[in-house]
Structure 1
Amino acid sequence: MNIAKVGLDLAKNVLQVHAVDSQGHIVVRKQLRRTDVLQYFATLEPCVIGMEACGSSHYWGHELAKLGHTVRLVAPQFVGLT
């Protein structure tokens, strides 16, 4: 799978993953339980992961960066704008 960018929506128990390739085509849309997130991202080639900046995003950002991914936190006021 050729994933270039991932949007990760952090929630309480289930996290949403939305991934696109280098041309912007959707390649993944799935839900992951918190216990499965690190295992899933460990199987991916390093890519850019964007998520809303919140309390738990710093934890997830550090853990995903340890796996080689580039993590970008987005200010809450800019999330969901089209």
Structure 2
Amino acid sequence: MSIRNQPKDAAVLGIDIGKTVFHVVGLDAVHAPIQKATFRRETLLQFFERASPVLVGMEACPARSGWRASCR
């Protein structure tokens, strides 16, 4: 994983889940974007393993129910 995709100290991480590409946006305490990153499936979990504990918001979509269960 490149340095630019190292997790920053965000107050909130938002994730847009897709079939092969995932977009993550990190927000600071006043909800200003501090990080935007794109990941493939195999590198997404590596990113979250390195991140500090943080609130994560993701889209709610019936087609993605398998991902919600695996990310808990």
Provide the TM-score with structure 2 as the length reference: 0.74
Distance of aligned partners of 1:45 and 1:63 in 2 relative to their CA distance in 1, 3 Å threshold: farther
Distance of aligned partners of 1:64 and 1:46 in 2 relative to their CA distance in 1, 3 Å threshold: farther
CA offset at residue 10 of structure 1? 0.8
Distance 1:39 1:62 in 2: 17
Unaligned runs of at least 5 residues, structure 1: 66-82
CA offset at residue 50 of structure 1? 0.8
Write the mapping of 1:18-57 to structure 2, written as runs, cut at 5 A: 18-54=25-61, 55-56=63-64
Runs of 4+ residues deviating >6 angstroms: none
Give the aligned residue type for 1:50: G
Distance 2:18 2:50 in 1: 22
* Structural RMSD (CA): 1.5
Match in the other structure for 2:4: none
Match in the other structure for 2:10: 3
Higher normalized contact order (CA 8 Å, seq sep 6+, divided by chain length):
2
Unaligned runs of at least 5 residues, structure 2: 1-7
Provide the TM-score with structure 1 as the length reference: 0.67
Sequence identity percentage: 30
